[in-house]
Chain A
């Protein structure tokens, strides 16, 4: 009986994950893709996306929800890449160059974002989302009008023919997959970008370590109860800003890793859906607005991307149009965010119910124990 109970509990706790697993398993056969192909795709996409998704963990830890403002970091990373392309700095050095240039920009962005979110406590998510739109406007202004006009651009190849503004699509030839290829491990037909995975592992280690620091503990305190933390002397606003800054800087690096793998960059909208897909991934992985862990990130990236790989083909095979799969992908992305939020509320209710059941059992168990005395 208790086995059945704990199974039920497992199901409700991991409802999103299980639902996704089921959809995915159902879609794999109709896509007609080989397991080898899907596995290789997963390895690639883990390398490509995990870093970005990891950037979401700390703000959740600090009680600020899903950091939609990470888009700001993505934009900073793109700025760094544009500069690297402009100066024709290539290879891993080019990536490091872009990351170094992107860092101060993303710190500034994170600071701005954090300060704004502090003014909107309790509504961080929607505020972050809107802020990303606003900063996107500034980004476009800089890239589309100022670059080449106010800021000199060396390489005419990346400019629009009118002489200023960056081209709509940038070829990242010089840095393409340079991190992935730095230590490419070939293992039984699979290509494993070891260097990328090492970078991700280092970040995971950092997150785990960070939670053990004083700052990490402060973030946890702030996440649990801001007023109590404040009255204990924890600088609440500062701590929250730091959480956002770290997240933004990580998003900057994450976007650089993402784009080096893609090999080209849609200058004006590569960042549009960065936060959106990262959030979808971490939610699919079983995280909630209040709780997220490193396993959530990996599970989420794998599940979401298997689905992304599989649906266009499944759409092609089932409906004769890959487009349907593409739209399905968008639909899934938004759908999963909504679904997870609803399920989160539902799960909270379930938890309360289970607690009550436990109470009932304790009451039955207590009597004979007392009688034995």
Chain B
């Protein structure tokens, strides 16, 4: 049935948020079993388009949309995601919607559990049916098998690494018998490259079953790898819609930003001189689910940029989270020789450390507050900045003008797409929210800045801006930076030293100029094993 007409066609869809045009006359079609790559800069309108397709209530609340969406030639206008689900559209959201205290199986079949009717059904309705746990498990296993990944059906979500959560969500969508179209909004943003590989293979498997897939990603490599067709959005316009065959990453990138993108980033450490030791960490352990740090010691000197790389789940993310007091941690951390308590984010901030979290929805932002407030918030709380005393210091009021100036500065520097500094954080696109997190940390003017996955979910053009900004801060203000990233390339671009974390320990520290295979060796854990064998021998 593959050569029949399109199962989904988007016709002349336009959407504006309070006069801000986000989508402008977008058209494309999708056939059964086809994988469509949807790409575009941060704020280009990808997520918005998918929200329209999925009938998310935000769309109706902000004035609906223009144009038509047709399934099998019939116009549909969903009033809620449940209508969309009923019509066979499944969506994996940018943020997880799983119940942490439930097992994989329970989450995969959530609200679609297998049941056996009980005698009370006739009295109180179907909900009195008894769960058929063996069958639920069987279905979950079948879905996992379809994806072609390894997942323990009985593991609690709270005990899983992020990658597995992502698979669980996808497995949930494909267990719906009706699902014909699967929408994935940046599913690989939280995955390592190898995990992403597995996911892409899984997507190909699903597409073979006849399910059409819309795949959104900022990793253009993946789009080129997996998609059959690519649609490029720029400023709300679908400027390209063509088969992927013969298209290169470079092409897509330049269509996205409307100019040619320089492939090379800033050159990395060139053997600079640094000041005294600023941060000394010894025997650090951190209990962060999925990113356990077991025993890590390192030191950072003033003015240095230290990078942490490694595979997901090995603990690199746990290091800044533990030092900043966001997860239970132990060991000793000293800043300028003074000990820093490990269970108090506030103490860490006051000591002069700041942190840009990899979790942009959780700890990052006050979503209901305005941008300037978000950017200035930490500085205000910790240092009392942007507060003006009035009535002889009896009260303090916010320095609105100062905050505004600050916000405008960062909106410019990081190219944040927003309507005004007063816009609410939740109204920004995912990538732009991430930029706000960065600006917030910069505003504190910390001595030591931890950045975790700074370019996750940020488009190709803006990635360079983010890295440039980090670089500039380091050179101009002498800010010491500890950067954690799963993208080796960006670590190599700006770091002076790169530590590779494996099994919760540092496997080795390399200069950015080291050969790629050396990094690979450390990541694979081989180096550590060899070393241990050498010791044993």
Contacts and interface: CB of A to CB of B under 8 A. Distances in A.
B57 to A, nearest CB: 11
Nearest to A373: B529
A352 interface: yes
Contact of B128 (A214, A231, A366): A214
B97 A214 contact: no
A186 interface: no
B169 to A, nearest CB: 11
Interface string B104-117: 00100011010100
Given A214-B126, A224-B101, A371 B536 contact: yes
Contacts of B197: none
A360 B110 contact: no
Contacts, number: 89
B128 A356 contact: no
Contact of A224 (B99, B111, B130): B99
Contacts of B78: none
Contacts of A232: 97, 110-111
B295 A363 contact: yes
Interface string B322-335: 00000011100000
Contacts of A1: none
A215 B127 contact: yes
Contact of B130 (A213, A355, A360, A366): A213
B129 interface: yes
Interface in B287-336: 287, 292, 294-295, 328-330
Interface in A359-373: 359-360, 362-363, 366, 370-371, 373
Nearest to B158: A224
A218 interface: yes
- Which of the four size classes fits the interface of chain B? 35 or more
A363 B292 CA distance: 10
Nearest to B81: A231
Nearest to A234: B111
Contacts of A38: none
Nearest to B115: A214
B274 interface: no
Interface string B273-288: 0000000000001010
A229 interface: yes
A231 B127 contact: no
Interface in A216-255: 217-218, 220-221, 224-225, 227-229, 231-234
Contacts of B328: 352-353, 355-356
B82 A362 contact: no
A212 interface: yes
B118 interface: yes
A217 B113 contact: yes
A358 B98 CA distance: 26
A248 to B, nearest CB: 16
A373 B285 CA distance: 23
Interface in B122-150: 124, 126-131
A370 B294 CA distance: 14
Contact of B529 (A233, A359, A363, A370): A370
B272 interface: no
Nearest to B118: A213
Interface in B70-111: 81-82, 85, 97-102, 106, 110-111
A362 B294 contact: yes
A214 B536 contact: no
B535 A371 contact: yes
Contacts of A362: 292, 294
A281 B90 CA distance: 47
A229 B504 CA distance: 34
Contacts of A229: 99, 110-111
B110 A221 contact: yes
A112 B99 CA distance: 29
A221 B113 CA distance: 12
Interface residues of A, number: 30
Contact of A355 (B101, B287, B529): B287
Nearest to A227: B97
Contacts of A353: 328
B398 to A, nearest CB: 29
Contacts of B285: 356, 359-360, 363
A9 B49 CA distance: 52
Given A232-B110, A232-B111, A352-B328, A217 B97 contact: no
B99 A221 contact: yes
A44 B330 CA distance: 52
Contacts of B528: 370
B102 A224 contact: yes
B82 A233 contact: yes
Given A228-B97, A363-B294, A212 B130 contact: yes
A215 B111 contact: no
Contact of A366 (B102, B106, B294): B294
A228 B503 contact: no
A52 B300 CA distance: 62
Given A232-B97, A370-B529, A359 B126 contact: no
Interface in A316-373: 352-353, 355-356, 359-360, 362-363, 366, 370-371, 373
B55 to A, nearest CB: 12
A161 to B, nearest CB: 45
B317 to A, nearest CB: 15
Contacts of B101: 224-225
Given A232-B97, A370-B532, A360 B118 contact: no
A362 B130 CA distance: 39
Looking at B85, B118, B287, the one whose CB has the most chain A CB atoms below 10 A away is B287
A331 B110 CA distance: 45
A336 B525 CA distance: 53
| Central interface residue in A213, A233, A371, by most chain B CB within 10 Å | A213
Contacts of B294: 359, 362-363, 366
B107 to A, nearest CB: 9
B82 A363 contact: no
Contacts of A356: 285, 287, 328-330
A359 B127 contact: no
B210 to A, nearest CB: 24
Contacts of B292: 359, 362
Given A213-B118, A213-B129, A355-B328, A224 B100 contact: yes
A225 B101 CA distance: 9
Nearest to B343: A352
Contact of B129 (A214, A221, A233, A355): A214
Contacts of B118: 213
23 contacts: A212-B130, A213-B128, A213-B129, A214-B126, A214-B130, A215-B124, A221-B102, A224-B100, A224-B102, A228-B110, A229-B110, A229-B111, A231-B97, A232-B110, A234-B110, A234-B111, A353-B328, A355-B287, A356-B328, A359-B294, A363-B294, A363-B504, A371-B536
Give me the 9 closest cross-chain CB pairs, A-B, nearest first.
Answer: A363-B294, A215-B127, A232-B111, A224-B101, A232-B110, A224-B99, A356-B328, A371-B532, A214-B127
Given A213-B130, A228-B110, 7 more contacts: A212-B130, A229-B111, A356-B330, A359-B285, A359-B287, A370-B529, A371-B535
